[in-house]
Amino acid sequence: MIKLWFQFVPREGWLPYDTEGLWAMPLTEDTARVANVPFLQDGVAEGDVVRFITNDDGRHWACEWVEASGNCTIRVLPSPNGPLGRSAQAVYEQLAPFGLGGESFSSELPLVAFTVPAGAGLGQMKTLLTRGQRDGWWHFEEACITDAWRSA
């Protein structure tokens, strides 16, 4: 495994980072398959293939998206004053019926990033996410979505 670095412009009102390192499985001398879900980088999902360059200090920097995995990246942040409080675990429990893989950012910021595989009950998941946001449970964002997600 290698650490694959992404650089981006930080979003106003969001985390102040301008890089994110994701684990990746090398495929060729300049391509790798992303092996975990991104918290900050938009437009990439676990399983996507990315081309990279290696700089003088040995860091591998993503420079081109090569192949989509068909997976989506959805991020969920529980509303501190909502029914789930600041519990990332409660977010996992609500989405457990969909069998999603995900990771939590930190206990201070209970952001949960999920990898949503194609065919994972996309319509039902979108309904639950939308209802949860409307009812004040969480905020969610579609960080990397597919046509299947859009049409569900």
Instruction: Find out whether 77 and 140 touch, Cβ atoms under 8 Å.
Output: yes
**Tens-digit pLDDT profile for residues 5-32:** 999 988 887 778 899 999 999 999 999 9
118 vs 33, more confident = 33
Are the CB atoms for 44 and 8 separated by under 8 Å? no
Task: Give me the mean pLDDT over the 122-145 stretch.
Answer: 95
% pLDDT > 90, the chain: 79
Domain with CATH 3.30.70 in the chain: 72-151
Residue 3 has pLDDT above 80, yes or no: yes
Categorise residue 85: left if φ over 0, alpha if ψ from -120 to 50, beta otherwise.
left
Looking at CATH, the fold of the domain delimited by 72-151 is given as: Alpha-Beta Plaits (3.30.70)
In this prediction, residue 107 carries a pLDDT of: 67
Convert the pLDDT of each residue in 87-131 to its tens digit.
999 999 999 899 887 888 876 788 999 999 987 889 999 999 999
Residue with tokens 């694959």: 4
